[in-house]
Amino acid sequence: MDKPSKLIEWGFDEEWIDIPMEALHPLKPLPPTIKLSVKFLQIRSSVEAIGLVEPLIVIRHPTLPGCFSILDGHLRSEALRDLGIERARCLIAKDDESYTYNKHVNRLAAIQEHKMIVRAYERGVSAERLSAALGISAGVIRERFKMLDGICDEAVNLLAEKPVPRGVFPILRQMQPFRQIDVAHAMINLGNFSLKLALAMLETTPSDQLAEGFKKKVERGGSTEVIQRLERELAALQADTRLLEDSYGPDNLKLVVIKTYVAKLLDNAPIVRWLAQFHADYLQQLQLVAEIRTLPAGPDRSPT
């Protein structure tokens, strides 16, 4: 008989709790000038206007009973202290993995921000207060209330945590619900949430799959076939790009190891003299390797 599978343990306690600010201790000191930064001022304005949206991530302090260390949320905690707020909403983590929270947590996507704004408005926060908190005009806030109008629930759920630009939603709105779902799946599969891809898929959408009021005339000739071919080529290109991205990190690590070894060889004078005498062409190539700083960056990707 197979052994029963081990249950995966939760990384957090199941519910958040309010913890007194004096019981929260930062893991790292903040720079003295942090309160002058634009980011801190935005966070402070947001907390003052609509409260703490994202709870702090904390872990029990190893030496101080009843106290906690902050894993993620140092600026938010500092804003709370600055505003004189006595308690903070926190999630208690079971492992000290500050790297995970600081480096790999996806911040608010467009849909999440939209839901946050709508929820705050429904709780009585005016558009003017939201405007002050987020640093955008009240008119833009009112426009964002309507961002998901005409977008089907399944497409919203698929894209809820994805980095989708706000400009994609007016494009999706021109399609019928099942076509919106197709486009959402295509974006996720390709890892591409750009306006260009959304527009390309809108262009290839048959008229009978467009929403009422957005019907278009079917053009004669081969233009539709050309667009469809371009869409297929784009999909293939995106797939190739994803493969390159997957191998970029390991390849860069190998390059660092090789370059370090070659540099040590070239620091050895007898080896350099022997290469110069018998294999000058090898010496030239090894010198080029030693001077490499990083692998070339791919499309839309900065060198590491």
Average pLDDT, the chain: 77
| Lookup result for tokens 């208690």 | 92
* DSSP codes of every residue in 105-170: -----HHHHHHHHHHHHHTT--HHHHHHHHTS-HHHHHHHHTTTTT--HHHHHHHTTS---TTHHH
Q: Is the pLDDT of residue 23 over 70?
A: yes
The highest-confidence range among 33-47, 81-95, 111-125, 226-240, by mean pLDDT, is 81-95
Per residue in 106-126, pLDDT tens? Answer: 455 677 777 777 777 777 777
Beta strand 68-72 with 56-60: parallel, antiparallel or unpaired? antiparallel
- Those residues whose C-beta lies under 8 Å from the C-beta of residue 78, and which sit 6 or more positions away, are 30, 34, 35, 40
**How large a percentage of the chain has pLDDT more than 90?**
14
CA 271 centroid distance within chain: 48
* Tokens standing for residue 91: 């999630």
Q: Which residue has the tokens 């050895």?
A: 268
Q: What is the mean pLDDT of residues 248-268?
A: 79
Going from the N-terminus, what domains does the chain have, and what CATH number goes with each?
Answer: 17-104 (3.90.1530.10), 224-290 (no CATH)
Q: Are 176 and 211 in contact (CB under 8 A)?
A: yes
pLDDT in the model for residue 257? 80
DSSP element (H, E) containing 184: helix 177-190
Of 186, 187, 301, the C-alpha closest to 244 is 301
DSSP conformation class of 207: G
pLDDT tens for residues 28-71? 888 888 888 877 877 887 787 767 777 888 988 888 998 999 98
